[in-house]
Structure 1
Amino acid sequence: MTGQNEAVLACENVVRRFGGVVALKNVSVSVSRGEIFGLVGPNGSGKTTLVNAVTGFYPPQEGRIFLNGQQINGQKPFRIAAMGVARTFQNVALFHGMSVLDNILMGRHIYMKPNPLASFFYPWWARKEEIEHRRKVEEVIDLLQLAPARDEHVDVIPLGLQKRVELARALCAEPKLLVLDEPMAGMNQEEKEYMVRFILDAQEALGLTVLIIEHHMDVVTALCDRVLVLNNGQEIAQGPARETIANPLVVEAYIGKPRNAA
């Protein structure tokens, strides 16, 4: 495993239980700076549980998690977010009734420090900060080609576009680690191809380190440098994307053992 100081994310022997169910069993993984790392496995294999452990929603009962060498398990989710972890969700979690632009602006909230004096002296004090936030948002809007939809309400735009807005909001947080939970879920083939391109463009332009959960193997091989495959809460394979997905244990986990001929 990559050393803690060389890795953006390092998980060591992570265990997470829910009652009598062991959802993660001594899972270890390391994600290097600038890498796109995939979490793969059948439904219920522990992928989202591992992400929830990393982001602080379900801290592990055993093991350790490091972000840039600093141990973070036990920290609250908002503190982990402030340390540079941004996330999108499998089910789109946008603010309904708000525009595309307003949703993306919410990604800057961790940098916004409420100050009554700044509000009172807005023309001299707070305006400069607001302009800087909007400059960053406009850069992300341009990167993800969202300008035509900026004033639309998120309730009325297509799912593929909603997913892109959620990605834009996460990018506006300037994450050290970007966590994508099934960003292609519910998309058609054309929408998936667009999203793959936008993730790669963002990774190149912003130097992102990405942890991605994904079921579509064509997406995994197009995006990921390395993958970890989980089944029943434990690692069954880890390594370069194409050869790991071709591992017989991985194929068996997805489609089962072949039947013997009668």
Structure 2
Amino acid sequence: MDTTDQTTHDGVTLACEQVVRRFGGLKALKGIDLGIRQGEIFGLVGPNGSGKTTLVNAVTGFYPPQEGRIVFEGAAINHLKPYQVAARGIARTFQNVALFKGMSVLDNILLGRHIFMRPSALASLFYWWWAQKEEVAHRRQVEEIIDLLQLESVRDEPVDVIPLGMQKRVELARALAAEPRFLILDEPMAGMNQEEKEYMVRFILDAQEALNLTILLIEHHMDVVTAICDRVAVLNNGEKIAEGTARDAIKDPAVVAAYIGKSNDAA
């Protein structure tokens, strides 16, 4: 049986197989193996510079691996461009808020529907008969997400003026607007206070249940990781040094040494 059949048979939604990524003489990922199962929240943790975001960028097509394979739902995707990866059903948020300033919350979320939009001169010419129906359908989808993430009170506000915790929620909403089956969250709680973190955890869990998502979560807040992740992998210097349940993984001696040995980097 080939690897593609095996990943499908085992219920693995996303598999990284000996993924290597270099930047010049720096080997940022050193043969990473991961298997993320359908419906789980999988945590990816490690000190700053350990390779977490590089791995996410490899999965999403921004920095394709030079060696190894990335398999999503039984098909290799490591040769695809980012827009092609998104079209397969993978969406992400970013470590730093990447919203469009000067635009409303609603319009930012609508941008998440771009992979479904087919603009054309002909559609514009017959707007009232053709394009308007498509626009209404997109807005209906977005309104459901606004309701799910409780953004009604700020839907028409410019994203510049709402608090950081709310901006992070808008970014999550934009990712959900793409109707992903696999969602990557890159430090969604960064910069939040405890109350905002608790809200975000609730919305992530609500979205997972309502939309049947598989989630890859990069997070420095270990209380969040242990609370919601089914399994965790720990990276250090581009290598996977531990994997298992959250509580077991963070107690691994290699993990303790990685964090204590780099106390300036550890969360």
Tell me the TM-score normalized by structure 1.
0.95
**Take 1:157 and 1:224, find their aligned partners in 2: how far apart are those partners?**
29
**Take 1:217 and 1:180, find their aligned partners in 2: how far apart are those partners?**
15
**Take 1:123 and 1:19, find their aligned partners in 2: how far apart are those partners?**
53
Query: Is the counterpart of residue 237 in structure 1 residue 218 in structure 2?
Result: no
Task: Give the 5 Å matches for 1:98-117.
Answer: 98-117=103-122
Task: Give the 5 Å matches for 1:137-176.
Answer: 137-176=142-181
Select which of 15, 37, 41 maps to 1:32.
37
> Corresponding residue for 2:125?
120
> Corresponding residue for 1:192?
197
**Take 1:54 and 1:9, find their aligned partners in 2: how far apart are those partners?**
9
Q: Counterpart of 2:44 in 1: which secondary structure? A: strand
Query: Is the counterpart of residue 92 in structure 1 residue 97 in structure 2?
Result: yes
Select which of 7, 12, 15 maps to 1:4.
7
Q: Where does structure 2 lack aligned partners over 5 or more consecutive residues?
A: 263-267
Q: Counterpart of 1:29 in 2: which secondary structure? A: strand
Query: Is the counterpart of residue 17 in structure 1 residue 41 in structure 2?
Result: no
> Corresponding residue for 2:49?
44
**Take 1:189 and 1:3, find their aligned partners in 2: how far apart are those partners?**
41
CA contact (8 A) 1:53 1:60 kept: yes
Deviation track 1:143-184 (CA, whole Å, cap 9, x = no partner) reads 000000001100111100000000000000001211111001
> Corresponding residue for 1:260?
none
**Take 2:217 and 2:259, find their aligned partners in 1: how far apart are those partners?**
18
Q: Which amino acid aligns with 1:4?
A: T
Q: Which amino acid aligns with 1:165?
A: V
Over the matched positions of the two proteins, sequence identity in percent amounts to 74
C-alpha displacement of 1:246: 1.8
C-alpha displacement of 1:219: 0.7
Q: Which amino acid aligns with 2:206?
A: D
CA-atom RMSD in angstroms:
1.4
Task: Give the 5 Å matches for 1:182-261.
Answer: 182-256=187-261
**Take 1:239 and 1:97, find their aligned partners in 2: how far apart are those partners?**
43
CA contact (8 A) 2:181 2:213 kept: yes
Tell me the TM-score normalized by structure 2.
0.93
Aligned pairs, number: 257
CA contact (8 A) 1:196 1:222 kept: no
**Take 1:162 and 1:59, find their aligned partners in 2: how far apart are those partners?**
29
CA contact (8 A) 2:29 2:238 kept: yes
Task: Give the 5 Å matches for 1:69-80.
Answer: 69-80=74-85
